[in-house]
Every structure is written in C-alpha cells, then in structure tokens.
Amino acid sequence: MERIYNAVLLDMDGTIADTYNVPNWLDQLRSESVEPFINAQPLITEEKLFSLFSEENIIICTMLPKDVKLGSPYAKKCQRAKRQWLNKHFPNLHPTIIFKTYGDDKSMGDITKNCLLVDDNPSIRANFNGYTLSAD
C-alpha cells in the first residue's frame, strides 16, 4: 500500500499521553518535576496506533514545558522522562523524537508539507504547514 503522507507527526502531551489528567501536573512542572511525564496514562494503545499508522513513518514531535530551554538540565530530564514513557507504553515503536520549545511552530519547512500532524492544540495545528488532525 502506498503511503498517503511522508510522515505522521504525533504530539505526546494531550494526544497520546494523558499528561493533563495527572494530579497537580502544572504545579509539578513549575517545580521542575518530571513526574507528570512519567505517570501519565496512554490515551491510545500501541495496537490501535499501529492500526491507524504504519510504524516506519511515525515521528514524535513534543514540547518541553513553558519557559524551559533546550539543553538546560531540566530539559534533559524532561526528554529522558518522555523517552522512558514511550519505551514503557509503546515498546515496539522506535520513532524519531523531536523536542521543541514550548510554543514553537511544529512546521519544519518543506519537509512537513506532506506530513500529517496529530495534535490536541488548535493553535499548533493552525500554524502547521502540512495536514492536521485533532487528537480528540
């Protein structure tokens, strides 16, 4: 079967990870805890994800918490926690993982024009230069 998209970009928090339903998630992030990323339950099973999209073209494109800069010690802890979460809940998924600064556009030039972004954030979807799908 021919691929419809070059890649499927999946957001994590609020799309495949139920981060926002972890008790006190925002306070924890503000105090530089990674617990919300560790304790989030999946919003979709690996089996269902693979039934919707083929494994080889999935890219995880996820944000760091607000005001956290790439390369900072807390950013590195967040990146490690998110990778561990993916390994735990999606052990057969071996995607490329792109970490973005909070609020950044997820478009990546011409590369994403024929990509599908699945994201729970309407403003992120509105600013994407490819195809989009709400995570709802």
| CB-based contact 57:8 (threshold 8 Å) | yes
Report pLDDT digits (tens) over 27-64: 999 999 999 999 999 999 999 999 888 756 899 999 99
Q: pTM of whole model > 0.85?
A: yes
Report pLDDT digits (tens) over 88-129: 999 999 889 999 999 888 988 777 778 999 999 999 999 999
